[in-house]
Structure 1
């Protein structure tokens, strides 16, 4: 019955996530059908488990009734049999104490721990609010990005990414080269590139893959500001949290932005920036990275969905 409760709990958790519109905080909404499929599968398993428990209980009840009838019909013979069986049972019990009794509590403890582990995500998912990622996630990393830009494509699926969206880990080398060149054609033909929610991830990846093709062009995008540990008062990073597939391979994507002198922004202030794409040496990375030199910007409210997703 505990397994039945666990299955119902997970089905309820997924249903609540869908009902409250929180699915986008866990996975790329392109894969919402997987969550719906999971709910259907869980409900089917709930029915199977419920039927299995009911059949097991009925079988146990029939067996007990049969034993009672046998005892009533063969009282004399059964008494002798019971006496003999009791002797064997005592012997078996002693044997179990000597050789295997200690394993039962251990097995029960492991099973109980396994059930507890399964209950934790159900309880936390249903009763605790979903936290929207913000600059505190960046601060927790100490702004020490784990890899240089050139090495970010060497990551593995499931690793958090920084600045540059990198979908190469989901393709072979040849397949990714074709994808890069195809997506370059979508952006390179225009002198002014605007990144919105639908193409933010794709556009950022193209710009980082082919920075020379965009130098001097106008770029417009939105995100939240993060000051970090900059050496001057004009540079802020502007980020969006994004999902390639799910939260496991999510990342903080954007670029360094040079604002006019005297600009004051707090972490998590949302802005729309527009400017000319340039590049400069960024000392913490010890390499040259794309930098947007702002020509105009304005504060904006946080979008209803602050995340962006990789669309292919």
Structure 2
């Protein structure tokens, strides 16, 4: 008579669910809301690996003798595991299954204003980025040759770094961009149009953006996505000269399906 090892069955189910979860993220395109697209192939490899481990685990689920429930299976031994479903098993399987339960049962929520304020907003280039002068200067020259700056997902990060590194060189330059609005009160209350930059995954993401100045306050629109057209200027903020956008026109827009930008 064929018997099933409970512990081995649970391990197989968990491996299969991880493989299915990653497959669904890729199939729906939702994976881009969690990791930088250049790392997508790594998560594809992970889903295949989980599926491979599932097939390795399947033979370990079965035994021909009730006495063998505490013995060795085809793929290794598991003495003392079966028949003693202790609290440590509940805790270990619960912790391993927690990401699956969250992923399958709860809707995904993109980072917004609250998370940006909690993590802090970047207004100037980091020291590491500033040291890459050759790359920055190349971006600056390309932007200066344009009659107007249009920031979109593909050029947002490179343009942002160039503008933050040399704000005075772009004074008077027309600019068009999209982002969500926050009210930052660290040094003085300012309205900022912001995007989240994802280097590797959303866990290491950070918010960056431009201070907005408008004759009519844009405050009270926190979390709202806007398309803003204006002219670049500079402003002393927190003891640092930063680029600001003097808004000419703006309109409310729907949030994009994927709100993140990638270096």
Structure 1 length as normaliser, TM-score? 0.66
Residue by residue over 1:240-279, the C-alpha shift from the partner in whole angstroms, topping out at 9 and shown as x without a partner, is 1231221122111211011123556511222111222111
Change (3 A) 1:3 1:308: same
The answer for the alignment partner of 2:160 in structure 1 is 204
Alignment partner of 1:162 is 2:122: yes
Deviation of the 1:52 alpha carbon: 4.2
Selected match of 1:128 from 106, 127, 130: 106
Alignment partner of 1:115 is 2:93: yes
Higher strand share: 2
Alignment partner of 1:14 is 2:22: yes
Is 1:165–1:253's contact at 8 Å kept on the other side of the alignment?
Answer: no
Report the Cα distance in structure 1 between the residues aligned to 2:88 and 2:239, rounded to whole angstroms. 50
Report the Cα distance in structure 2 between the residues aligned to 1:111 and 1:182, rounded to whole angstroms. 57
Alignment partner of 1:257 is 2:217: no
User: SS where residue 240 of structure 1 aligns?
Assistant: strand
Is 1:237–1:254's contact at 8 Å kept on the other side of the alignment?
Answer: yes
Report the Cα distance in structure 1 between the residues aligned to 2:196 and 2:96, rounded to whole angstroms. 28
Alignment partner of 1:223 is 2:179: yes
Q: How many pairs were matched up? A: 239
Higher helix share: 1
Selected match of 2:247 from 275, 294, 304: 294
User: SS where residue 153 of structure 2 aligns?
Assistant: coil
Is 1:226–1:237's contact at 8 Å kept on the other side of the alignment?
Answer: yes
Q: Runs of 5+ in structure 2 lacking a partner?
A: 1-7, 70-85
Write out aligned runs for 1:1-312 (5 A): 1=8, 2-54=10-62, 57=63, 109-139=87-117, 141=118, 145=120, 162-163=122-123, 168=128, 176-229=132-185, 235-261=190-216, 263=218, 265-282=220-237, 285-310=238-263
Change (3 A) 1:61 1:200: same
**RMSD of aligned alpha carbons:** 3.1
Q: Runs of 5+ in structure 1 lacking a partner?
A: 65-107, 146-160
Is 1:242–1:308's contact at 8 Å kept on the other side of the alignment?
Answer: yes
Change (3 A) 1:243 1:20: same
